[in-house]
Chain A
Amino acid sequence: MPGRRNPLLTFLFAALILLFTGGPVALALYGSLVPDRILLDPNRSVLSEGPSLESYRYVFTGELPASYRQASANRAMISDAARQVPQSLVNSSIIALSAMLLNMLLGAPAAFIYARHAFPGKKLSFMFLILSPLVPAIALVTPIYMMLEGLGLTGTRIGIILVHTAKALPFTVLILSVFFRKMPQELFEAAVLDHCSRLQAFLRVALPLALPSIGATGLFAFMLSYSEFMFSMVLSGDAATRPVSVVMAALARNTDVSWSLLNTAIFIAIVPTLVLVVLVWRFVVEGLLNGSVKG
């Protein structure tokens, strides 16, 4: 974007955005490195004892932090749920990646047809898609649980993947159709002149141009699945299938659990996802946008 820039103003805006979006997460990082007794004492800070990685060691190896091994320590402050975090990250990644891929595969053709074609039943089926997420999920938990129970899919990752895919699909189609609509009509007219079939026009013209947008919407499906709690909780079984949101909620609702341990779990849960989101956003979405569309 052209125009004059005031470096001070830019810096100020950037600092504000960083403070608002990153601030609470920075607090979690701080809390995870400092034992509770320092955290809750207004007169002491991380400087009085230096950072400690005890909580991190407990989550990965099960070795109790020294401060909780004393005779007077409150054992309720240590929760087994924290030890489930690494496995739950694996579960969440499998579930969310599957939901993301399914959304891109199933959603893109439908979005293309809605954006570029007129056909009987278009309005009705589109309205169905748009209006289907209206019903609050809480009201649907019981019937969906019974339905998946009948199919033998409760307590498995597949059941959760199915629900998350269906939850994100209406938004995937809606958002992608906005992008397909914005493509210049001449491109498709040229494709027709070249005797491209509908499938060829989709695969050779629309899809390559829309890849960044498809990446961005796929990311949306990923995040929706990763942070979804209710269905994950009802449909997951033991610790082997439990996703991150369920484990974290169990930790957060345990009022005894140590702040430091909770913050450690939060931070461990954030980092791999953040890395993935940033990689997809940076290399897939931005890379493609700068390369193919604009150039």
Chain B
Amino acid sequence: MWTTQRFPAIWLLPALLPVALMTIYPIAYALWTSMHSVLLLFPDTPFTGIDNYVRVVKSGYFLDALYNSLLFTAIAAPLVVVLGTLTALFLQRRFLGSKIVRSIVLLPWVLPGAISAVLWIWVFHPSFGVLNGTLRALGAIDGSIPWLTSPKLALISVVVAHVWTQIPFAVVLIMAALSAINSETLEAAAIDCRSPARRFRHVILPEIKPMIVVLLIYNALAAFTTYDLVYAMTGGGPGTATTLLSFQIWKESFSMYDFGTGSAVAFIVVAISAVMILAITRALPSDLFEGD
């Protein structure tokens, strides 16, 4: 670790400036909007303080949407990381066709959210869907299971589709982290630890832990702010079973044209995301965020 007295601007500004350009003014603007009454039909934008926030928290959808979003994130983010890690560990092996499997795993990555939704509707559709068709052909069910129209199943279905879209990135990052482990460490581990499970826990896991933390944070954010996939699959229904908080930003702003309230929802989402990130970095300490 080198120590420098001056801020290394030449190294950092190329990365910091574009990010600053796309965040500082827009966020300031959104924050201003959230504290004013900004409605498309009225040119005046009077200052309203925290009225917009109060209106959101007291609204009929808030508690349901918050609960759904938290539940969705709590299931989806760890699931992506665990499945991604397992798949990456498995794909380290070489077997007949392993290269093909490695390529196929990347498939969900190349699809925009709206398209993934179409593919998964195709799977879960009650009458034309492949899942019901297969179950019917196997004789497991008689009629059809309402995957997208029963509240509990709908949430599970959208979690499955969301996990599917996020798996490839997790696999790629964990595989990259696994490959970066020193081969001497692995050889020593192979001699010292007989059981693969213990070898994973004591040797491999500590090596890839920073990457797992990064992935978990990224996925918690991705799950908490996703809206397009879920909305395209269920429209937030049945009832409010899959209505997510992040979707309400869009709904307030672009369907009700109440930009003030939309921004207020956005900053509530920001506050909760910040708490979530803090909780993850506390629960899984790694040297990632230390200033050292």
Contact = CB atoms under 8 A, between A and B. Distances in A.
A202 to B, nearest CB: 8
Contacts of A227: 109-113
Nearest to A14: B101
A268 B90 CA distance: 30
B43 to A, nearest CB: 16
B186 to A, nearest CB: 8
Contact of B173 (A13, A138, A216): A216
Interface size class of A (residues with CB under 8 A): 35 or more
Chain B contact surface mostly? helix
Contacts of A260: none
A245 B114 contact: yes
A169 B97 contact: no
Interface string A237-259: 00000001100110011000000
Interface residues of B, number: 101
Interface stretch (B48-56, B60-68, B146-154, B245-253): B245-253
B114 to A, nearest CB: 4
A138 B273 contact: no
A196 to B, nearest CB: 11
A24 B269 contact: no
B221 interface: yes
B169 to A, nearest CB: 6
B25 A147 contact: yes
Interface string A39-52: 11010000000000
24 contacts: A5-B93, A7-B95, A17-B90, A17-B104, A20-B167, A24-B122, A106-B14, A107-B15, A110-B16, A113-B8, A126-B289, A129-B19, A138-B253, A139-B266, A166-B19, A178-B288, A220-B172, A229-B114, A249-B114, A252-B114, A266-B111, A266-B118, A266-B119, A293-B180
Given A245-B115, A277-B106, 7 more contacts: A2-B190, A24-B123, A27-B123, A117-B2, A138-B227, A139-B262, A198-B2
Interface of A: 1-3, 5, 7, 10-11, 13-14, 17-18, 20-25, 27-28, 31, 39-40, 42, 105-107, 109-110, 112-113, 116-123, 125-126, 128-140, 142-144, 147, 162-163, 165-167, 169-175, 178-179, 181-182, 185, 198, 212-213, 216, 219-220, 223, 226-230, 244-245, 248-249, 252-253, 262, 266, 269-270, 273-274, 277-278, 281-282, 285-286, 289, 293-294
